[in-house]
């Protein structure tokens, strides 16, 4: 069977995937090509989320097909990585529709929920019957959220009362629940509450006029005396150390997302350069254009190598903050370079969304910032290699 990434996977990392894993990724490719590509530019223009894909994505069983699962019900880390790669090779925003639900929300519940909570909700989450978003960031606290969390939770018998504000929360406008991170006024520790988005006292406001990730609906949330039953507090999240553990799981996904977007931008730029003629020949035949194409391919290949090795280590049970932080910051940095070169190769047409590269160019800015900015991840790695924390002066 022909390779899945003949253009952008020069070193053949996909050969590390199993037959069923490759087959699953092919079916994802087919879905994205038929159901998303034709409407992609229009959705971008209208800043509309492609939520019509939720049902076919559920039917594909990308995360719960028994053919992909080990004895503990998990997919292999490498497949998980390539699943992110495949999504963002087509569109990062659409990948977030899936990733927000099946990675961020699901992982939070799986790691933070009691055995009974996971047993009650996991099947519904993976099959999009119980949809959810992840609400940590606040208007006044992004990078310093661990020490600055202002949203409060006050226990009142069998229920909790939440007050505060959240910002940037992806997909919450299309979700039934939102996982709200709040500080317990009694012990000062962080706790997480699965809050209904239609709860009294909860107001969502869409962040309009975004220049990046236009296919993702991001919202501000106001919480005024919102009630959540104790049954919907995730029982195993009791401190920011638990939240850090969660990010160790989520940050490698972002490295894969950033690698996949580079592949998408590179493939689009190469195809354009082979077709576009100037001075009587395809621009791909000019040395200065080839220089950019090769730089892009180098970035894609190195990013993939880093992501693959990270996933292999995670498969072996090695999970260190500095590993995932280094991968996230370094691959997102390469993403910024790659999408800029891709945009350049496509010339003026590179700012028209139909030519793909402008979408990757703008979306890269969001990937660069979320799940830890380059500076925050640098400080995590810097602390690990020096033993000295430089987060505050």
Query: Smaller CB distance to ligand FAD: residue 296 or 366?
Result: 366
Query: Smaller CB distance to ligand FAD: residue 330 or 370?
Result: 370
The strand pairing partners of 169, in sequence order, are 219
Q: How many helices (H) and strands (E) does the chain have?
A: 13, 9
Q: Site for ligand FAD (CB under 6 A): which residue of 64, 154, 373, 384?
A: 373
Residue 164's region, left for phi above 0, alpha for psi from -120 to 50, else beta, is left
Q: Site for ligand FAD (CB under 6 A): which residue of 46, 285, 375, 389?
A: 375
Residue 390: Cβ-neighbour burial (10 angstroms; 0-12, 13-18, 19+): exposed
Smallest gap, in angstroms, from Cβ of residue 170 to ligand FAD? 4
Query: Smaller CB distance to ligand FAD: residue 27 or 143?
Result: 143
Smallest gap, in angstroms, from Cβ of residue 214 to ligand FAD? 10
Torsion over CA of 185, 178, 307 and 354, rounded to 10 degrees? Answer: -140
Smallest gap, in angstroms, from Cβ of residue 96 to ligand FAD? 8
369 binds ligand FAD (CB under 6 A): yes
Smallest gap, in angstroms, from Cβ of residue 92 to ligand FAD? 10
User: Which of the residues 168 through 187 are near ligand FAD (CB under 6 A)?
Assistant: 168-170
For the chain, the farthest-separated pair of C-alpha atoms sits apart, in whole angstroms, at 78
Nearest residue to the partner ligand FAD, using Cβ: 142
SS3 84: helix
Smallest gap, in angstroms, from Cβ of residue 5 to ligand FAD? 26
> How far is CA 173 from its chain centroid?
17
| Residue ranges in the chain assigned as alpha helix (H) | 19-31, 37-46, 54-60, 77-90, 92-98, 106-112, 115-126, 145-148, 240-275, 287-315, 321-345, 357-369, 374-386
Q: Give the interface size with ligand FAD as a residue count (CB under 6 A).
A: 18
Of 14-22, 163-171, 262-270, 336-344, the window that binds ligand FAD (rule: CB under 6 A) is: 163-171
User: Which of the residues 84 through 143 are near ligand FAD (CB under 6 A)?
Assistant: 134-137, 142-143
Q: Which residues bind ligand FAD (CB under 6 A)?
A: 134-137, 142-143, 168-170, 213, 218, 366, 369-370, 373, 375-376, 391
């Amino acid at each position: 069977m022909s390779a899945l990434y003949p253009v952008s996977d020069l070193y053949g990392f996909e050969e590390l995937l199993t037959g069923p894993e490759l087959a699953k990724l092919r079916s994802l490719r087919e879905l994205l090509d038929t159901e998303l590509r034709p409407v992609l530019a229009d959705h971008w223009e209208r800043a509309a989320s492609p939520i019509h894909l939720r049902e076919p994505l559920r039917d594909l069983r990308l995360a719960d097909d028994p053919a992909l699962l080990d004895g503990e019900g998990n997919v292999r880390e490498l497949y998980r990585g390539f699943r992110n790669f495949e999504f963002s090779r087509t569109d990062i925003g659409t990948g977030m529709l899936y990733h927000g639900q099946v990675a961020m929300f699901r992982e939070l519940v799986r790691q933070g929920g009691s055995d009974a909570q996971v047993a009650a909700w996991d099947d519904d989450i993976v099959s999009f019957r119980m949809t959810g978003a992840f609400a940590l960031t606040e208007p006044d606290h992004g990078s310093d959220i661990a020490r600055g969390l202002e949203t409060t939770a006050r226990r009142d018998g069998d229920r909790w009362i939440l007050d505060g504000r959240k910002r940037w929360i992806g997909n919450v406008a299309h979700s039934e629940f939102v996982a709200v991170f709040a500080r317990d006024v009694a012990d000062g520790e962080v706790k997480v509450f699965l809050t209904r988005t239609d709860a009294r006292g909860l107001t969502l406001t869409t962040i309009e006029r975004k220049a990046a990730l236009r296919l993702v609906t991001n919202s501000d949330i106001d919480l005024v005396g919102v009630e959540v039953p104790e049954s919907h507090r995730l029982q195993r999240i009791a401190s920011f150390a638990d939240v850090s553990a969660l990010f160790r799981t989520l940050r490698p996904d972002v490295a894969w997302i950033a690698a996949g977007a580079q592949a998408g931008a590179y493939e689009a730029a190469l195809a354009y350069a082979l077709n576009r003629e100037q001075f009587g020949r395809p621009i791909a035949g000019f040395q200065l254009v080839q220089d950019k194409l090769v730089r892009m391919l180098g970035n894609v290949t190195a990013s993939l190598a880093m992501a693959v090795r990270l996933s292999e280590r995670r498969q072996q049970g090695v999970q260190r903050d500095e590993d995932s932080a280094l991968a996230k910051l370094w691959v997102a940095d390469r993403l910024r370079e790659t999408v800029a070169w891709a945009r350049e190769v496509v010339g003026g047409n590179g700012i028209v969304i139909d030519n793909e590269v402008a979408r990757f160019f703008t979306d890269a800015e969001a990937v660069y910032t979320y799940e830890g900015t380059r500076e925050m991840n640098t400080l995590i790695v810097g602390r690990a290699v020096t033993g000295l924390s430089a987060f505050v002066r």
